[in-house]
Structure 1
Amino acid sequence: MPSITIRNVPEEVHRAIRVRAALHGRSTEAEIREILERAAKPDGRLKLGSLLVSIAREAGGLTSEEHALFERDKTPAEPMGFDL
């Protein structure tokens, strides 16, 4: 998992994060991970799959035949051989 180093964090910001972490019952590092995750992936964000489904519904959806075109072959692949 990647790691990030953040330099020159103002003391009052660091103190506020430590207090916030204590209130949530987790470490400062875990609190910062939570803050970053919520900032990068907000709850109300529009996801591509959801957008595509809504567009398809507005357009009338897919017929059975069209849906079958997107069916995936679920048979396992044959392992590769290296024999000559």
Structure 2
Amino acid sequence: MANLLVRNVDADISQALKERASAHGVSAEAEHRRILEEALLRPKRRSFLQVLADMPDVGHDEDFARRQDEATPPVFD
């Protein structure tokens, strides 16, 4: 496992890291590792096209067409 040394960190950032670590019940070093892992090893974002391609085929366009009720007058007329 590699070592990582971060220099010239603003005092406010260092204090925020310590407070966040304390809130999670871990050391500042462990919290730093966790933040780096969450930021760098999370799954890659999918494109909009990939999301659309993964949607299941649930019917035909006609299945989702709006029906006009004869008894209800149009709202914006």
TM-score bracket for the superposition, by shorter chain length: 0.5 to 0.7
Q: Work out whether 1:7 is the aligned partner of 2:7.
A: yes
Question: What is the TM-score normalised by the length of structure 2?
Answer: 0.56
Amino acid at match of 1:9: V
- Separation in structure 1 between the aligned mates of residue 23 and residue 4 of structure 2, nearest angstrom: 24
1:26 is the counterpart of 2:26: yes
- Which residues of structure 2 form unaligned runs of 5+? 46-77
**C-alpha RMSD of matched pairs (Å):** 2.1
Q: Aligned residues: percent identity?
A: 40
1:13-62: per-residue Cα shift (whole Å, max 9, x none)? 000000000000000000000000001112x426xxxxxxxxxxxxxxxx
The runs of 4+ residues in structure 1 deviating greater than 3 Å are none
Alignment partners' CA distance in 2, 1:17 and 1:6: 13
Q: Secondary structure at the match of 1:8?
A: coil
Unaligned runs of 5+ in 1: 47-84
Q: When the two structures are superposed, what TM-score results if normalisation uses the length of structure 1? A: 0.51
